[in-house]
Structure 1
Amino acid sequence: MTATPATAPVKVLLVDDEGLVRSGFRMLLDTEDGITVVGEATNGLEAVDEAIRCRPDVVLMDIRMPKVDGIAATARIASTRGLEGVRILVLTTYDTDENVFDALEAGASGFLLKDAGPSELLHAVRVVAAGEALLAPSVTRRLISQVTARRAADRDADARLAVLTERERQVLGLVGRGLSNAEIGAELHLSPATARTHVSHAMAKLGARDRAQLVVIAYETGLVLPGT
């Protein structure tokens, strides 16, 4: 009988200018099966260097840091060759942080409040590592508000969506509503694998780095409306 190969642990890079915060995260993550901390950084500049050095799966990124902040660091990591597979989970103390939209546009895959419980943080790391988008509910409300305000200035929505097939538009709308591949498949009577393929095609055609950016595009173009 052939043994099932062990799954590689999720590699995490911690980025925060407060040593106590990093220590707390490390203590939590390193004691969890399937997750390992591979590096730490105290500012955005160090974060980019560490990401290149240790090639993490997930970066836990603080926003407000000296030298280079978390948004700039996120943009640099997202645009660095060889780091395309790195997912960034942005942490903030404020559920009304004005930088939510900017962080997602820069390439963040998720947003979580620092006061989230241990189980929420562990879940967030695993969700983001798996390529899904993750937004705290209060942050989602803030995001929708900001995107709705900006959408009025986006007069090229139809042109942006013209590259998609009708099925891909449907899938994009469901991604924008927060559905997983399995849920999208059930909604459209597709297999999860087929749903995943449509999501991948939409990402490629729209130049989206991950599902979080697809969510932003769905709201920007009016494909998903607040409250739907």
Structure 2
Amino acid sequence: MSADPPVGRARRTRRKAAAPVAGSLQDLKALKRRIDDAAQEQARLEAEQRATEARLRRERDLFALSVGPVFPLQRAVRAPVPRPKPEPVPLQRQRDEQAALREALSDEFDVESLLDTDEALSYRRSGVGIDVVRKLRRGGWAIQAHLDLHGLRRDEARERLADFLREAGRQGLRCVRVVHGKGNGSPGRQAVLKAKVRTWLVQKAEVLAFTQARGSEGGAGALVVLLGAPPSSV
């Protein structure tokens, strides 16, 4: 067999050398496509992430605009829960009612047997010495308040006297004067209030004694009354 001519051998050599070069180009193209695909996927993912963050930011901003400024709650002392208060007990009304029962003064009370048989018709409660009445008659206690019942009807005078004594007890007064009049202006010149005032006074537990006032203090038309502590209303 004859040897190949030089030209033929050169062509075969070029064909053999060109084959690896073509394969390398195809590999590079494939690699480039994979790189491009990866870059596009990365770009897509980043775009989606930016879109999600933008959506969340819009929602957060919308909430802030809707509710206004938001501040964290501070840990503070808990306020006590208000509880319904019990109904108040009307103690004062009860005391007033009890006082009204005590002040239900009777006009039929027989006072004559309790009065000392002297011109002043003095009175002293059991346990009070006669010297107390004498001192009262002589003005041994300063008169701290007075009540004038002139011109009042019997029922009105009784209520005024009860109110006066109750207020005197609240103020802690010891000696008061009650002016009932001499009865000169009454029908038949009968001193109706004069007798009734004595009857009412002896029924009051806080009245220790009374006697006719001295001439300068009203004489036969008034009484000077010595008071003690009022009875407890409890």
Asked if these proteins are the same fold (TM beyond 0.5), I'd say: no
Structure number with bigger Rg: 2
Q: Which has the higher contact order (CA 8 A, sep 6+)?
A: 2
Give the TM-score band, short-chain normalised.
under 0.3
What is the TM-score when the length of structure 1 is the normalising length?
A: 0.21
